[in-house]
């Protein structure tokens, strides 16, 4: 279990370790290290790592032999003024690494960067590479956060995690912050090793009670557990807290007493946690309170917090996931569309936000579906920075009971070119601030680890967390490259193990899309009960707005401007034109944008309904092969992980058949069109 907790940082002995000892440092020297801060941690990791990986025990402090020197550029240049000229430019959190004949120099722009450099070096040697190299590495974007959706008690729960599939919260229990925060520190260690610099610990559906004096003290203890790893704490706020907790009769963001109340909160938090990252706010969404309750704009709401954070240097991530599920009526209104909400609500607000606000936008306009177009809002915000919200916890994607390696999906989204002003405008360039020049941009990943000894509830799901951090640092990395690295660090170098994990992982997203929901119809999960398992009928006839508009003859959401909800028109002109027209809409998003007969011909020549049938057979057949593949690893990896993963893969194989038959039969029953291959129909 301890190994599970160490995930990709297990520092297991590398093959032929003893042959490499001469190319490794013999001592560790930390520059200006303070106990409890990242440079000190870096020194400790180097000692532990080299001991675990190679069985070589390093001495601490200057020695005659080779050494690994780690610290900030500033501390290094203080001691060696003449070295300054030879050092590269680093931005915040960046690092420089030089390995030469067993001597290693690891310099960070700040302490956090130094720790990142140490982890990077350890990852390189853990992959068996002890050759000389020099590397300068800067992050692509400054905001690289994760969001936990951990509950306090108010919901009647004891530290549960919303959409969490790996056990209870590692932070909260019974309405308070846990006494024992060992796991919080271990989590921060994993996150630091992949470049994550902040964690929002409590759910976006926030309990006001997170801000009681006692709980603010508790938050300070979480921040203490994170600090050795350079991970900052962020806090989710409940917009109505002045009323719910403060006893005020309003939470109007323009009301003086409300503003003062929030200023008091910020001051108190920063007194306890001087290096707090800032806030995350979900407002006016799914029944949550917000500024619109008082007819104020979303900018009024975000700026209220932004101003209270400014004296302390904090930032606020304000979510664009704003929609009112009570106002959507499918039957009466052909043009109603939840997908329109974000761009509509933020219309005209781009230049209204304070400088320390970034807008956190889910990758697609609905909700973490297996296939969504990139949210058009990314092309609208030019002055205000944006972060893209990705979801590591597999809410709609099998809840860690199905293997779905997500890096290929994220890469496709990040590489998508929105063509703003008809110029190259990839999502990755927008969230790096390269396209529009904003300063506060980046990534937010919903992770939801829990007390389970695998963190996420499945060993293989950890490749998603690893890939998230790596891509937030450098979106040019390849899905397969990241996976290979993760596999080596987690399972070692056995080629058979690599082949199997590569095959399963790289086929897993396409397979899941095939058996869960094709052609942009969304993941056809039960959207009323837990977002798990097939229930295509549950999408429609309710106000949640994840509609398919399937009837006996036709299916799909008409989101065109000429005849539909107008959503396609929210994109810059070239993209809008592509999606407006059936001919130019890619097949994999056909039903996202168009309402068509089941007999509509795809570019492949197949009809929509036949594609459904075939894809569901194909995807579930692929899932069967995962079991056979994995069985090849018996005896090649430890029994515990072998059995744990096998159990899940066997389940996934079975459940994929449930998916296949439920979805296929559902559409057969609706359309009455039999499968050309005779598999689906009246038997
Ligand atoms: C989804 C999810 C909710 C979550 C919400 C959000 O709808 O099912 O659990 O609260 O997204 O992102 O705010």
Q: Which ligand 1 atom minimizes the distance to the CA of 395?
A: 8
Annotated domain spans of the chain = 2-137, 143-479, 516-557+595-671
Ligand 1 pocket mutation, candidates 322, 395, 545, criterion most atoms within 8 A of CB: 395
Q: Which atom of ligand 1 is nearest the CA belonging to 162?
A: 9
Q: Tell me, in angstroms, the distance from the centre of ligand 1 to residue 203's CA.
A: 10
Q: Which atom of ligand 1 is found nearest the CA of 204?
A: 13
Ligand 1 atom having least distance to the Cα of 203: 10
pLDDT confidence of residue 327: 76
Task: Specify the range with the lowest mean pLDDT, choosing from 306-320, 330-344, 360-374, 385-399.
Answer: 330-344
Residue 285 Cα: closest atom of ligand 1 = 13
Q: Do domains 143-479 and 516-557+595-671 have the same CATH topology?
A: no
> Which amino acid residue places its CA nearest to atom 1 of ligand 1?
367
Look at residue 365 in the predicted model and tell me its pLDDT: 97
pLDDT score for 324: 83
Mean pLDDT of 217-243: 98
| Segment (H or E) for 576 | helix 573-580
Who lines ligand 1 at CB under 6 A? 162-163, 204-205, 282, 321, 367, 395
Residue 163, phi-psi category: left (phi > 0), alpha (psi -120 to 50), beta (remainder): left
Which element (helix H / strand E) includes 390?
strand 385-391
What is residue 547's predicted lDDT score, i.e. its pLDDT? Answer: 95
Q: How much is the pLDDT for 155?
A: 57
How many angstroms does the Cα of residue 93 sit away from the middle of ligand 1? 31
Confidence of residue 42 (pLDDT cuts 50, 70, 90): very high
Question: Does the domain made of 143-479 have the CATH classification 3.20.20.80?
Answer: yes
CA of 300 to the centre of ligand 1 (A): 23
Q: Give the C-alpha separation, 324 to 476, whole Å.
A: 36
Half-sphere exposure of 490 (CA within 13 A, CB side): 26
Strand partners, 108: 72, 95
- Residue 371 DSSP SS3: coil
- Residue 503 pLDDT greater than 70, yes or no: yes
Provide the token pair at 34: 């303070």
Of all protein residues, the one whose alpha carbon is nearest to atom 12 of ligand 1 is: 321
Q: What sign does the dihedral 11-227-169-372 (CA atoms) show?
A: negative
CATH for 516-557+595-671 is 3.90.1330.10
- Rounded to whole angstroms, the Cα distance separating 524 from 654 reads 17
pLDDT band at residue 233 under the 50/70/90 scheme: very high
pTM for this entry: 0.98
HSE-CB for 93 with a 13 A CA cutoff: 20
Token output for 579: 């999606």
- Range with the poorest average pLDDT among 142-156, 567-581, 665-679: 142-156
For all residues of the chain together, what is the average pLDDT? Answer: 96
| Count of CB atoms situated within 10 Å of the CB of 287 | 9
Q: What is the pLDDT of residues 324-381, one digit of tens each?
A: 887 777 777 889 999 999 999 999 999 999 999 999 999 999 999 999 999 999 999 9
Indicate the pairing of strand 442-446 with strand 95-100. Answer: unpaired
Q: How far is the CA of 592 from the centre of ligand 1 (A)?
A: 20
- Nearest atom in ligand 1 to the alpha carbon of residue 282 is 13
Centre of ligand 1 to C-alpha 365, Å, is 13
In angstroms, what is the span from residue 4 Cα to ligand 1's centroid? 28
Testing ligand 1's pocket by substitution, the residue of 163, 285, 387, 542 carrying the most ligand atoms inside 8 A of its CB is: 163
User: Cα–Cα distance between 385 and 350 in angstroms, integer?
Assistant: 9
CA nearest neighbour of 368 among 307, 446, 438, 439? 446
Whole-number Å distance between alpha carbons of 662 and 632: 31
pLDDT for position 4: 81
- b/e string for 394-410 if b means 16 or more Cβ within 10 A? bbbbbbbbbbbbbbbbb
Q: Mean pLDDT lowest for which of 224-228, 258-262, 324-328, 508-512?
A: 324-328
Pocket test for ligand 1, best of 147, 204, 320 (most atoms within 8 A of CB): 204
The number of C-alpha atoms within 13 Å of 529 and in the hemisphere containing its C-beta is: 7
Distance 324 CA to ligand 1 centre (A): 13
Residue to mutate, 146, 147, 149, ligand 1, most ligand atoms under 8 Å from C-beta? 149
Q: What is the 3-state secondary structure (H, E, C) of 275-344?
A: CCCEEEECCCCCCCCCHHHHCCCHHHHHHHHHHHHHHHCCEEEEECCCCCCCCCCCCCCCCCCHHHHHHH
Q: How far does the centroid of ligand 1 lie from the alpha carbon of residue 187, in Å?
A: 23
Structure confidence at residue 154 (pLDDT): 55
- The per-residue pLDDT for range 432-451, each reduced to its tens digit, is 999 999 999 999 999 999 99
Q: Which residues are catalytic?
A: 286, 367, 395
Q: Report the candidate in 385, 384, 388 with the shortest Cα–Cα distance to residue 375.
A: 388
Question: If you average pLDDT over residues 250-270, what whole number do you get?
Answer: 98
CA-atom Rg of the chain in angstroms: 26
CA of 529 to the centre of ligand 1 (A): 13
| pLDDT for res 2 | 58
The number of the ligand 1 atom at minimal distance from the alpha carbon of 531 is 8
Q: Whose CA is nearest to atom 13 of ligand 1?
A: 204
Distance 393 CA to ligand 1 centre (A): 12
- Give pLDDT, residue 157: 64
Task: Express each pLDDT in 568-603 by its tens digit.
Answer: 999 999 999 999 999 999 999 999 999 999 999 999
The percentage of the chain sitting over the pLDDT mark of 90, rounded to a whole number, equals 94
Name the closest-CA residue to atom 11, ligand 1.
367
Candidate from 151, 321, 360 with most ligand 1 atoms within 8 A of CB, to mutate: 321
Q: How far is CA 485 from CA 146, 306, 334, in A?
A: 21, 39, 48
Percent of the chain whose pLDDT exceeds 70: 99
Among the four given CATH numbers 3.30.1540.10, 3.30.379.10, 3.40.50.2300, 3.30.70.3040, the one describing domain 2-137: 3.30.379.10
């Amino acid at each position: 279990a301890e190994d599970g907790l160490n995930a990709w940082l297990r520092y297991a002995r590398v093959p032929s370790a003893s042959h490499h000892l001469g190319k490794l440092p013999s001592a560790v020297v930390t520059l200006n290290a303070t106990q409890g801060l990242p440079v000190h941690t870096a020194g400790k990791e180097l000692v532990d790592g080299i001991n675990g990986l190679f069985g070589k025990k390093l001495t601490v402090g200057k020695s005659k032999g080779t050494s690994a020197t780690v610290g900030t550029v500033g501390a290094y240049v203080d001691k060696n003024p003449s070295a300054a000229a030879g050092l590269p430019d680093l931005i915040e959190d960046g690092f420089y690494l030089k390995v030469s004949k067993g001597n290693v120099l690891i310099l960070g722009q700040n302490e956090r960067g130094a720790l990142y450099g140490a982890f990077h070096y350890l990852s390189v040697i853990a992959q068996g590479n002890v050759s000389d190299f020099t590397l300068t590495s800067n992050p692509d974007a400054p905001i690289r956060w994760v969001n936990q959706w951990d509950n306090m008690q108010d919901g009647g729960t004891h530290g549960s995690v919303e959409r969490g599939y790996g056990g209870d919260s590692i932070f909260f229990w019974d309405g308070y912050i846990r006494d024992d925060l060992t796991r919080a520190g271990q989590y921060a260690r994993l996150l630091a090793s992949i470049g994550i610099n902040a964690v929002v610990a409590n759910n976006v559906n926030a309990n006001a009670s997170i801000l009681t004096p006692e709980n603010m003290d508790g938050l300070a203890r979480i921040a203490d557990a994170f600090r050795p790893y350079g991970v900052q704490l962020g806090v989710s706020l409940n917009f109505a807290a002045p009323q719910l907790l403060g006893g005020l009769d309003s939470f109007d963001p323009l009301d003086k007493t409300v503003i003062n109340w929030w200023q008091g909160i910020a001051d108190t938090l920063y007194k306890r946690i001087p290096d707090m990252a800032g806030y995350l706010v979900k407002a006016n969404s799914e029944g949550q309170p917000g500024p619109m309750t008082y007819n104020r704009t979303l900018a009024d709401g975000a700026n209220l917090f932004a101003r209270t954070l400014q004296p302390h240097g904090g930032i606020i991530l304000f979510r664009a996931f704003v929609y009112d599920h009570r106002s959507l009526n499918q039957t009466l209104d052909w043009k109603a569309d939840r997908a329109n909400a974000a761009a509509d609500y933020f219309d005209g607000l781009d230049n209204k936000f304070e400088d320390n606000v970034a807008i956190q936008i889910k990758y697609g306009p609905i909700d973490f579906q297996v296939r969504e177009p990139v949210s058009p809002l990314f092309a609208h915000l030019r002055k205000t920075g944006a972060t893209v919200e990705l979801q590591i916890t597999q809410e709609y994607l099998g809840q860690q009971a199905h293997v779905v390696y997500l890096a290929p999906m994220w890469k496709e989204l990040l590489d998508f070119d929105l063509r703003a002003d008809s110029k190259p405008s990839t999502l990755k360039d927008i969230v790096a601030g390269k396209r529009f020049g904003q300063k506060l941009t980046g990534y937010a990943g919903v992770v939801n680890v829990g007390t389970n000894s695998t963190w996420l509830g499945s060993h293989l799901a950890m490749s998603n967390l690893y890939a998230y951090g790596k891509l937030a640092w450098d979106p040019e990395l390849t899905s397969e490259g990241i996976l290979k690295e993760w596999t080596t660090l987690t399972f070692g170098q056995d080629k058979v193990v690599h082949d199997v994990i590569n095959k399963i992982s790289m086929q897993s997203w396409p397979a899941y899309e095939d058996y869960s929901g094709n052609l942009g119809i969304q993941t056809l999960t039960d959207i009323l009960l837990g977002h798990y398992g097939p229930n295509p009928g549950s999408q429609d006839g309710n106000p949640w707005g994840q509609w398919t508009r399937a009837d006996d003859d036709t299916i799909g959401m008409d989101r065109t401007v000429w005849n539909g909800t107008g959503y396609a028109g929210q994109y810059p002109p070239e993209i809008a034109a592509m999606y407006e027209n059936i001919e130019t809409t890619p097949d994999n998003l056909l039903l996202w944008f168009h309402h068509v007969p089941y007999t509509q011909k795809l570019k492949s020549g197949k009809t929509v309904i036949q594609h459904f049938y075939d894809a569901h057979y194909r995807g579930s057949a692929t899932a069967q092969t995962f079991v056979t593949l994995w069985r090849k690893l018996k005896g090649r990896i430890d029994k515990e992980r072998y059995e744990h993963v096998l159990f899940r893969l066997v389940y996934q194989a079975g459940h994929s058949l449930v998916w296949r038959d439920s979805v296929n039969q559902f559409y057969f029953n609706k359309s009455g069109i039999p499968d050309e291959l005779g598999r689906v129909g009246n038997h």
